[in-house]
Amino acid sequence: MALTDPIDVLLVEDDEHVRLATTQSLRLAGLQAHGVDSAEAAQAWLKPGFAGVVVCDVQLPGDSGLALLQRLGEQDPELPVILVTGHGDIGMAVEAMRDGAWDFIEKPFSAEHLVEVVRRALAQRRLVLENRRLKAQLGGGPADGLIGASAAMEQVRMLIGTLGPARVDVLIHGETGTGKEVVARALHAASGARGAFVAINCGALPESVFESEIFGAEAGAYTGANKRRIGKLEFAGDGTVFLDEIESMPLALQVKMLRVLQERSVERLGANTAVPLACRVVAATKVDLLALAREGRFREDLFYRLDVASIALPPLRQRREDIPLLLDRFCAQAGERLQRAVPTWTGAQLAAWQSRDWPGNVRELRNFAERWVLGLVGESAPVASSVPSRPAALPEAPLDEALAAVERQWIVQALQESGGNVAKAGERLGLARKTLHDRIRRLGLDADAYRPS
């Protein structure tokens, strides 16, 4: 195998028989594996951006596995390194995990267990590299706030790039929290217009002031109108007016809005002359406007006038693969704003979060990330809420990771209820003490953390 060949696993093991047997087991599991006999030989394979994971014995001739771990941590702190230890090295291996090792496996180990750990590490590695690729790809463009590598988000970015410079009116469909205003701002940025971006929530604006706020008013047009008021449409200039929750616009004013869009001019209240408009209108809704129109609750002609071009934003449950990228960005932003270190999460936790429906969509995920950084998310809370009360759709997370998330939840709960007493926790779970110790170690838990202080 040449140094340029892509590999999933680099195995560092000085015992030739163990190295050959382990490499074969990994290959039989469908993984591209390559073995070397020393930490020094491993360095030739571990170039920046290495897309695989490292499985390394602690005891090696020359530099030890711990020395290699330290060097790799300096080179790429997010590269998963799985240590292989003898029975007497467990305490040292746990300490190594605190120093950055992804996991450790105790000899003798089964091929199935090794493959399971490696697959989870590979999934995490691919997410990290995809996140890096996406950040480099976005590069601060108009759609920089639209995070995601899913096909649905690629389509949204493509539409923004096409419709932005065209300056046609756009209707954005999407559930609450999917980022409709982010898309509207991206369209505005892509247009290159010098005018303002003016956001109006039609559901929050009282009907009594709606007309003057949107269309403007001349002095004396109504009681208390002591001077001319420039409306939002006029104020935007050649910019963008974003009408959020357009379905909440009063029916009486929908007629006037339709005329404004058709004529591209507006008459202030109390005026006799029309003012030309140069702005683009972007409307957003969380409901089916056409169905609303058929019920007589929205003007059908206004719907068709707004729907010159449309962008559909998918809910988060339809693009679960974007959740790690979103969490990474939101946690980094929250950490910077709150001046706090961002806690790391496990593969099992991430799998559990990806299996949630997130009814509040991206907005809910952003709030969750902030609570995570503040340390307000309990060990089992995200996992517990990710388990549906009855079967729905199968989770997109790998099954072994989803099962590991549930296992972690139950073990954490048993440790909490037993005050960190492993024997009592094992009785609650129906597991032998040694079996539970092994699972606690595999999940990276610390029973002492649950003992009363």
In the chain, % of residues over pLDDT 90: 36
CA-nearest of 362, 413, 353, 359 to 383 is: 353
Could you report the per-residue pLDDT of 218-262, keeping only the tens digit for each?
Answer: 887 777 777 888 889 999 999 999 999 999 998 888 999 999 999
Other C-beta atoms closer than 10 Å to the C-beta of 224 total 6
CB 137 within 8 A of CB 164: no
Q: Residues 134, 120: contact at Cβ < 8 Å?
A: no
pLDDT at 89: 64
User: For 151-197, how does the pLDDT look when each residue is reduced to its tens digit (9 = 90+)?
Assistant: 888 889 889 988 988 888 999 999 999 999 999 999 999 888 888 99
**Model confidence band, residue 391 (pLDDT cutoffs 50, 70, 90):** very low
Omega before 276 cis (within 30°)?
no
pTM of the model: 0.56
pLDDT (average), residues 317-335: 90
Same CATH fold assignment for domains 9-136 and 151-314: yes
CATH superfamily of 9-136: Response regulator (3.40.50.2300)
Per-residue pLDDT of 78-100, as tens digits, reads: 889 999 887 666 677 677 777 78
- Could you tell me which of 37, 67, 38, 72 has the C-alpha nearest to residue 53? 72
Residue 133 DSSP one-character state: H
The DSSP annotation for 410-449 comes to: HHHHHHHHTTT-HHHHHHHHT--HHHHHHHHHHTT--GGG
* The pLDDT of residue 437: 80
Q: What is the pLDDT of the chain when averaged over all its residues?
A: 83
Q: Is the CATH number of domain 151-314 3.40.50.300?
A: yes
E runs forming strands in 219-297: 240-244, 265-266, 275-276, 280-285
User: What pLDDT, on the 0 to 100 scale, is given for residue 379?
Assistant: 46
**What are the extents of the domains in the chain?**
9-136, 151-314, 317-450
Kindly report the three-state secondary structure assignment for every residue of 360-385. Answer: CHHHHHHHHHHHHHHCCCCCCHHHHH
pLDDT at 398: 56
CB atoms within 10 A of CB 277: 20
